[in-house]
């Protein structure tokens, strides 16, 4: 229980850090990209997308506290997977600059 609360808090804190513009190095892939690759992305949109995803994912971990059943775990995994796919698609379309 305590571990889930710590993980949820960490996700929310990382999301807020990214949203305020101080956590670009927390964005996987962006932190190791070359300058040329970074110029392909609208960083404000990417920050908003990734930060919002983490802030939503944090409280969502409390689903695991409701009931320690396979249904709760399955619901968490399903929601996380769907949100991750949506985020990846948006990061590669909406957050990219137009050529």
- How does pLDDT run across 20-60, given as a tens digit for each residue? 999 988 898 888 999 999 999 999 999 999 999 999 999 98
Q: In 3D, which of 49, 50, 80, 51 has the Cα closest to residue 63?
A: 80
SS3 41: strand
pLDDT at residue 16 in the model:
96
- How does pLDDT run across 67-87, given as a tens digit for each residue? 667 887 888 899 999 999 999
Q: Degrees (nearest 5) of the Cα angle 81, 87, 3? A: 55
């Amino acid at each position: 229980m305590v571990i889930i609360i710590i993980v949820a808090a960490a996700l929310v804190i990382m999301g807020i850090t990214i949203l305020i513009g101080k956590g670009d190095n927390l964005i996987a892939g962006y932190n190791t990209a070359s300058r040329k690759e970074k110029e392909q992305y609208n960083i404000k949109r990417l920050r908003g997308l990734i930060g919002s995803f983490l802030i939503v994912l944090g409280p969502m971990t409390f689903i695991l506290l409701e009931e320690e059943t396979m249904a709760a775990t399955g619901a968490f995994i399903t929601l996380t997977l769907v949100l991750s796919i949506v985020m990846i698609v948006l990061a590669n379309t909406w957050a990219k600059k137009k050529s």
